[in-house]
Amino acid sequence: MAGMTGRNTPAIVVLGSAALDTARRIQAHVPGARIHGLASRVDAHSADIAYDDFGAHLRSLYVSGTPVIALCAAGIVIRALATCLADKGAEPPVLAVAQDGSAVVPLLGGMSGVNVLAREIAASLHIAPAITTSGELRFGQCLLAPPEGYALADIEQGKRFVSGLLAGETTRIEGHAPWLDDAPLPRAADARLAVHITPYGAGTATAALTPDDLVIHPRCVLAWLDDAGIEGDIAERVRVAMRERGLAPLALAALVAPVRQGSLEALTEAAHALGVPLRLCDARPFDAASSNGVALHVADTPVDALAIGRARGTLTVLGLGPGSADLLTPAARRALDEAQDVLGYETYVRMAGPFRDDQCVHMTDNREELQRARRAFELASEGRRVVVVSSGDPGVFAMAAAVLEALDTGRADHADWHAVKLAIVPGVSASLATSARAGAPLGHDFCVLSLSDNLKPWSVIEKRIAHAGEADLVMAFYNPLSKARPWQFDRAMEIVRQHRRAETPVVLGRDIGRPGERLSIVTLGALTSDLVDMRTMVIVGSSTTRTVGNWVYTPRWYA
């Protein structure tokens, strides 16, 4: 669980503004940690993420494996998580920290490094952590949570081992475990129990292991796949090759392969199945005979996979939603957290922040869309994790189409762009956010239209509005008006009025989901262009759209 694949960044959960100061001090020391604030008590700008219900939020963080640093009484945390504590194997670290930063109590996640996190937080607050784990107190070092680059073979076996030591047994260390050098373990050269640091698995001739021993595997094996290896079930092929050599699956540090069109998806899946990173190299980075398409290299010490070749770059085009953090999807949030490079129009990039110091932010002008898309591919081709942000949904009058257009037009010159793992993450589009605020004006058939004639002739726009009017569709207008397009909105409404009664409800949403949000409901007859600007969404009803109280809706039935 620990190490490179467990990438959930910690959540610092606060219940009120009084805890913000301590939360920020912790955030500065815990890479990637985000402050989650109770929406009703913490100002939206002070927290990275807002939540409404403490118990429900804590449980959802816990089950998604997110480390939790809760700035409140331990009892509150325990009661909130009580219902989901059965599965001890999968628990993330959970800590309670006193609001004033005077105490840090690791509560859960002994196997996933809670004490390490407690020590980090305690160091940032200049206090001593309240470590309660008997094995760790006694031996100064948690034997069951080895450092990055090492993996514990079997937790149950580990627990038996620690109980043995606590009961007075001695131990010896077989292999190289530098982090245990100064640990006050009860050592004896002839001890019955041993700590084995070995890439080889139990039941192999290479390592003489007994069931009571503690086995820790250094991640020191590289598996290189040549052309013959990139076929069929790649993960299984690697497992078999390792088994034949007596190597434990957990000793694998990385899957290494050449860049080959068409095989990247299968390689990515195989690396995922094996729980290791995929690294791409033009040539095999070590000397070893290959059998059945797989060559294995066993190093003496853990291998830093990230120093080998390069990663398969990723390019994620994501939608931020209309603006507020609570309308940003968790998938988009995760992509932002994992990004190394963030590209987008300045306003949207600011909306997506704040970013960490290790993240590169590239702000551009709103009109340079194709150029931005090409730049994103270039960065991703170097193996970087790149995101391009749009407001709302990236596929609605936004960057997703520009990115695919760049890929399409760059086909001949940029074969490497196709090796990039491309993903589009949806967002809540302005028409949907506005519709929800007003009720359900999009409750029946509707269309979305952009009134911008920057990229399409005005005549096409007129024709589409006329057809939509005739088809009695609800119409959601994006880009209704700008300084450069002063008369178009009035002309568009003139066409709409040829097909709709003056009483037709019209929803105007301005800056929905952003500070200063404004929603108004008018009639088509009263609609004038001075009510509308570039930050407004205009939804014009169909012949059946109606109001009830302050709500607007379009019934599901049709006359």
Query: 54-63 vs 74-81: helix axis angle to the nearest 10?
Result: 70
**Sole residue written with tokens 């998938």:** 331
Question: What character string, x for contact with ligand SAH (CB under 6 A) and - otherwise, covers 119-138?
Answer: --------------------
Q: Does 253 bind ligand SAH (CB under 6 A)?
A: no
> 321: which DSSP letter?
B
Q: Does 509 bind ligand SAH (CB under 6 A)?
A: yes
Out of 342, 512, 527, 552, the only residue in the binding site for ligand SAH (CB under 6 A) is 512
d(CA 395, CA 407): 15
Q: Which residue is nearest to ligand SAH (CB)?
A: 392
Question: What character string, x for contact with ligand SAH (CB under 6 A) and - otherwise, covers 375-414?
Answer: ---------------xxxx--xxx----------------
Site for ligand SAH in 309-338 (CB under 6 A): 322-323
Q: Are the beta carbons of 94 and 114 closer than 8 angstroms? A: yes
Q: Nearest approach, Cβ of 534 to ligand SAH (angstroms)? A: 5
Q: Segment contacting ligand SAH (CB under 6 A): 92-100, 492-500, 528-536, 551-559?
A: 528-536
Residue 49 has a CB neighbour count (10 Å cut-off) of 18
Question: What character string, x for contact with ligand SAH (CB under 6 A) and - otherwise, covers 424-453?
Answer: -----xx---x-------------------
Nearer to ligand SAH, 373 or 537 (CB): 537
Q: Nearest approach, Cβ of 474 to ligand SAH (angstroms)? A: 16
Structure token digits, residue 100: 């004033």
- 445 - beta bridge partners? none
Q: Nearest approach, Cβ of 444 to ligand SAH (angstroms)? A: 21
Q: Nearest approach, Cβ of 428 to ligand SAH (angstroms)? A: 8
d(CA 366, CA 375): 14
Residue 531 has a CB neighbour count (10 Å cut-off) of 17
Distances (CA, A) of 306 to 176, 278, 281, 358: 22, 9, 12, 16
Q: How many residues bind ligand SAH (CB under 6 A)?
A: 25
d(CA 56, CA 59): 5
**Sole residue written with tokens 């990115």:** 403
Distances (CA, A) of 45 to 38, 514, 518: 12, 11, 19
Q: Segment contacting ligand SAH (CB under 6 A): 29-37, 204-212, 238-246, 507-515?
A: 507-515
Q: Are the beta carbons of 358 and 340 closer than 8 angstroms? A: yes
Nearer to ligand SAH, 62 or 478 (CB): 478
Nearer to ligand SAH, 27 or 479 (CB): 479
Out of 276, 537, 539, 552, the only residue in the binding site for ligand SAH (CB under 6 A) is 537
Out of 348, 478, 489, 553, the only residue in the binding site for ligand SAH (CB under 6 A) is 478
Q: Does 513 bind ligand SAH (CB under 6 A)?
A: yes
H or E, element range at 463:
helix 458-470
Q: What share of the chain is helix, strand, coil (3-state, %, to 5)?
A: 35, 25, 40
Give the binding site for ligand SAH (CB under 6 A). 322-323, 390-393, 396-398, 429-430, 434, 478-480, 509-514, 534-537
